Structure 1
Amino acid sequence: MSAYRCIVVGTDGSATSFAAVDRAAAVAADSEAELVIVCAYTPASREDTAEADDVLKGEAFLVHGSTPADETLRAAEDRAAAAGARKIRRVAEDGPPVDVLRRAARAAGADLIVVGNRGLNTLSGRILGSVPSEVARRAGIDVLIVHTT
């Protein structure tokens, strides 16, 4: 099997998703591949931002100009670098996780998507679907589902 050239990994900032980032970074380091760390998010509504302005007053600037994913991606990038990944890119996008991961993989020309297994073996995951099962079903490229739970 040839080495991967570009690997996409999804994270939501949870411990289990960071385990997937660690594994993806190790594979990227072994393959000398680019690692694209992806975080799907839903932006704050105007009402939420206005409420934060009221509560934070002079420090309201802290909630403007950044996405909810910024800190998650910074932490994931630090972990990936510590695991040996050298070429790292971050992507934050509004939308459902499966769709965001697939778009990021397509845009990057990725040949591997890495996700954690959280939700895969739950009752709701079996009935409603889970991110790992939907990614595996719809990706069109190799998918590594990391045992994280």
Structure 2
Amino acid sequence: MAYRTVLVGTDGSASSFRAVSAAASLAAATGATLVLACAYLPMRESERAAAADRLGELAYKVTGSTPADDALRAAREHAVAAGATDVVLTADQGDAVDVLIAAAARHHADLLVVGNRGLNSLAGRLLGSVPSAVTHRAACDVLVVHTTDGGR
């Protein structure tokens, strides 16, 4: 089966960029569109005000979707370096799992790629992890990329 649209989640972390690179290599090899998705949660007003006091004119960097947009720009660099040519960015407010599932449906993704971060942690086993939840809820194929050293 050739994938036409590959969606990968990123949060701007080094481990998520490893998943982005793997997804980009696969998209490049199959000629697929690569969708980079990032979830963000709104800041409480008290947190935003405290950040604005500390950051002054740079406060916009932690407001709204700006951190997600920054993560997506960095992820695009990793994707292009790995060979992806058709790259789409999407930042959506909400829980990571909900955002990834909705973005996969909206973009008609054939494959959803996530890193394994959280699968080997105690919190991940007790509370559920993004990769685990995505594999249970996705309506498309899911690839879990080993992006951390845990359990290896």
- Would the TM-score normalized by the shorter structure come out above 0.5? yes
SS at match of 1:68: helix
SS at match of 1:69: helix
Deviates more, 1:39-48 or 1:58-67: 58-67
Q: 1:125 to 1:86 in 2, by over 3 A?
A: same
Number of equivalences: 148
1:93 Cα deviation after fit: 1.0
Structure 2 residue 138 is matched with structure 1 residue 139 = yes
1:42-81 superposed matches below 5 A: 42-60=41-59, 62-63=61-62, 66-81=65-80
Q: 1:58 to 1:22 in 2, by over 3 A?
A: closer
Unaligned regions of 5+ residues in structure 1, if any?
A: none
CA–CA distance in 2 between the matches of 1:132 and 1:59? 33
State the Cα deviation string for residues 46-94 of structure 1 (Å, max 9, x = none): 2222223333334445555752211111000011011110110111111
Unaligned regions of 5+ residues in structure 2, if any?
A: none
CA–CA distance in 1 between the matches of 2:4 and 2:99? 20
CA–CA distance in 2 between the matches of 1:137 and 1:66? 27
Deviates more, 1:137-146 or 1:38-47: 38-47
- Alpha-carbon RMSD across the aligned residues, in angstroms, is 1.6
Identity score, percent = 57
Structure 2 residue 128 is matched with structure 1 residue 103 = no
Amino acid at match of 1:29: A
TM-score under structure 1 length normalisation? 0.91
Runs of 4+ aligned residues of structure 1 deviating over 6 Å after TM superposition are none
